[in-house]
Structure 1
Amino acid sequence: MTRRVPSNEDREVIRQAAQWLALLESAGTCEDDHPELQSWRKSSSTHERAWQKARQLRERFCGLPSGLAMSTLDRPDQGRRALLKRALGITAVVPAAWLLSRQLPLDVWRADLHTSTGELRKLPLAAGSLLQLNTDSAVNLDLGSGVVTLLRGEIALSVPGNAVLAIEAPYGRILVGRSAVCVRLNSSDCQVSVLSGSVQLGPLRGVSMDLHAGQQVRLALNGAGPIGVFDVSAPGWREGVLTAQDQALGDFLRELSRYRVGLLRWEPELENLRVTGTFRLDDTEQILSLLAASLPVEVQMRSRYWVTLRSRKAFTQKNSA
């Protein structure tokens, strides 16, 4: 039986539940955290299930000797181990690591090429082709057969000349030749956006179709959705930037959070503030500072892994009371 590949959204909920647990068990908790946790839990049944599972795991592991607890972190990938230790703290890292390992299949952990949160990678391929991985992404490579299998996250592939490479995704196959394309794996579909040239799509259901520069489509289990218009300048992550043009702040922050380790939260009233600009992804804290300088928001940074954006007016009133 094939195990479902968890989506980016699934992984984010798991990570948030572990971080809530770590915060409440740390010395840094404050009176506002408990109501915010309740609000987070009530906002989605998925949040509540993740929270209950995190608590059960914490209870199961709380009696382990420290030596055995630390051995859980002894994985070949030292980067992931350090990431977990920094993000969660030692009090919660054992159940969080176990929970993550249960939720993520082994083929993702053992992928030929992967990126951690905030990491971007480029890989030159044969005949001038270029593969780029966005943050928190994973692929397998079969260059002998000319196949790139997308396991998680987002990639960009450009193929010049007469070469043809295929991208295998859970919802179909994309043939790329004399063209450039971005493919992003979501919770229940993958978005295919053509930057230049044209590609051929083979959905799981339905007939094959051609997609041209400036077009995008979503592939799902039931086939391809309607063709939409795509802004070819949108995927700025390929150049290490995040671009917004009159974008809702909530949407911008959700995208920004993909590049940050830890939890990024904001008050609901900030959701529809507008953002315009181009921001460098190699310094997400600088991005937050720029937002605070240009919008009526304050950045409350309990640590670099626990950040909340609040309304500047509400923040000032609370601190002057």
Structure 2
Amino acid sequence: MSLPAPQLLEEAAEWLLTLNFDGANEAQRQAFERWRAQSEAHGAAWARAERVMGTFASVPVDIGQQTVRRVGDRTLSRRRTLRLLTALLVGLPGGWLALRPLPLDALGAELTTAIGERRSLLLADGSQLVLNSDSALDVRFDAGIRRLHLRRGEVLVTTHADPVVPRRPFVVSLAQGEVEALGTRFSVRAEETLCRVAVFAHGVEVRPQQGAAIRLAAGQQAWFDARGVQRLAPVDEDASLWTHGMLLAHDRPLAEVLAELGRYRPGLLRCDPVVAGLRVSGALSLDDTDQALLALERTLPIRITRRTRYWVAVGAP
């Protein structure tokens, strides 16, 4: 059976939210019944929505309960919740593994961003943060230390001299270790296998859980896991242009560029291995990834197929 039209799935997501979490009144329930009876396609879209909610009962308990709580969390904007639900309607029926892309590790975090969102913050000590797309962070300042715990995603930190005496160290911690600022501007990114630290001013000390600590100076970046630092490389100031909604590519493989764009849009963005090695150079918008994809399609021998807003494939023409 083919997937219902995207517009119907969005409407089904709206009704799912209204009926399950908004406390629908009798008039709304009657309006829903009229909507569902409009056509077989409307009924199919709602049946899919019911399967999504039913799936939560069959997945591992902690995942199902956390996802339902996230959908019903009134602290999330309605737009974000609808986007999450619609993405589930498009991509779920394939078993509970389809839930893995959801940021469950962000649940309960103090500071979060949605996919495609950036957030700037001024901390109590005067330090500045920019939280990248789909990120989660906790701020833990006390009398002895200034600590950020990056649960997922990426953060750009510009530290400020500590107003507290004696000076407290400024540390970003992750599951694989921690990074201490040495009066600096730097970014930390939690990736699937390795964490990346890029230093734009002054320096940092990287302390993996088990490996030896190393110091990085401005212009250096490193990838590390719990066992130690795995790779060192120079970093360009362009690496922080995401804070302005821009991706600047210098002769990068198309697959890498698409993987980066995929961090800023919901759903799936797939790259056919046939075109994965094409080289990309230029500036692309992270705030409007559809325009970025259009720009790639105009300049490269590729074809972009859009099944829905949440399923996009890039392949050969």
- Report deviation, 1:77: 4.4
Deviations 1:103-151 (A, max 9, x none): 834xx20100011111111111244421111111101111334110010
Q: What is the alpha-carbon root mean square deviation over aligned residues?
A: 3.4
Structure number with bigger Rg: 2
**What count of residue pairs does the alignment treat as equivalent?**
255
2:302 equivalent in structure 1? 297
Residue 225 (structure 1) aligned with residue 230 (structure 2): yes
2:240 equivalent in structure 1? 235
Give unpaired runs (5+ residues) of structure 2: 7-50, 58-66, 164-168
- Which aligned pairs between 1:57-68 and structure 2 lie closer than 5 A? 61=54
Relative to 1, partners in 2 of residues 1:189 and 1:160: Cα closer, same or farther, differing over 3 Å?
same
1:17 equivalent in structure 2? none
- Report deviation, 1:59: 9.9
**8 Å CA contact 1:240, 1:280 repeated in 2:** yes
Relative to 1, partners in 2 of residues 1:135 and 1:90: Cα closer, same or farther, differing over 3 Å?
closer
Q: Which amino acid aligns with 1:183?
A: V
Q: Which amino acid aligns with 2:277?
A: N
**8 Å CA contact 1:61, 1:95 repeated in 2:** no
**Structure having greater relative contact order (Cα 8 Å, sep ≥ 6):** 1
1:204 equivalent in structure 2? 209
Residue 123 (structure 1) aligned with residue 100 (structure 2): no
1:142 equivalent in structure 2? 140
2:276 equivalent in structure 1? 271
**8 Å CA contact 1:25, 1:91 repeated in 2:** no
Q: Which amino acid aligns with 1:61?
A: G
1:50 equivalent in structure 2? none
Which whole-Å CA distance do the structure 2 matches of 1:101 and 1:244 have between them?
25
Deviations 1:211-240 (A, max 9, x none): 101112222121223432222322321221
Relative to 1, partners in 2 of residues 1:266 and 1:218: Cα closer, same or farther, differing over 3 Å?
closer
- Which aligned pairs between 1:1-321 and structure 2 lie closer than 5 A? 26-27=3-4, 61=54, 73-79=71-77, 80-89=80-89, 92=92, 99-100=99-100, 104-105=104-105, 108-144=106-142, 145-161=145-161, 164-312=169-317
1:37 equivalent in structure 2? none
Deviations 1:196-225 (A, max 9, x none): 111122221244322101112222121223
Deviations 1:14-33 (A, max 9, x none): xxxxxxxxxx662469xxxx
Which whole-Å CA distance do the structure 2 matches of 1:299 and 1:200 have between them?
43
Which whole-Å CA distance do the structure 2 matches of 1:178 and 1:103 have between them?
31
Q: Which amino acid aligns with 1:121?
A: R
Which whole-Å CA distance do the structure 2 matches of 1:218 and 1:61 have between them?
40
Relative to 1, partners in 2 of residues 1:91 and 1:176: Cα closer, same or farther, differing over 3 Å?
closer
Secondary structure at 1:264 match in 2: strand
**8 Å CA contact 1:182, 1:192 repeated in 2:** yes
Q: Which amino acid aligns with 2:312?
A: V
Secondary structure at 1:122 match in 2: strand
Deviations 1:33-58 (A, max 9, x none): xxxxxxxxxxxxxxxxxxxxxxxxx6
Relative to 1, partners in 2 of residues 1:306 and 1:168: Cα closer, same or farther, differing over 3 Å?
same
**8 Å CA contact 2:92, 2:99 repeated in 1:** no
Q: Which amino acid aligns with 1:218?
A: W
TM-score after normalising by structure 2: 0.70
Which whole-Å CA distance do the structure 1 matches of 2:137 and 2:177 have between them?
15
**8 Å CA contact 1:160, 1:177 repeated in 2:** no
Which whole-Å CA distance do the structure 2 matches of 1:156 and 1:258 have between them?
16
**8 Å CA contact 2:178, 2:206 repeated in 1:** yes
Give unpaired runs (5+ residues) of structure 1: 1-23, 30-57, 65-69, 313-321
**8 Å CA contact 2:195, 2:224 repeated in 1:** yes
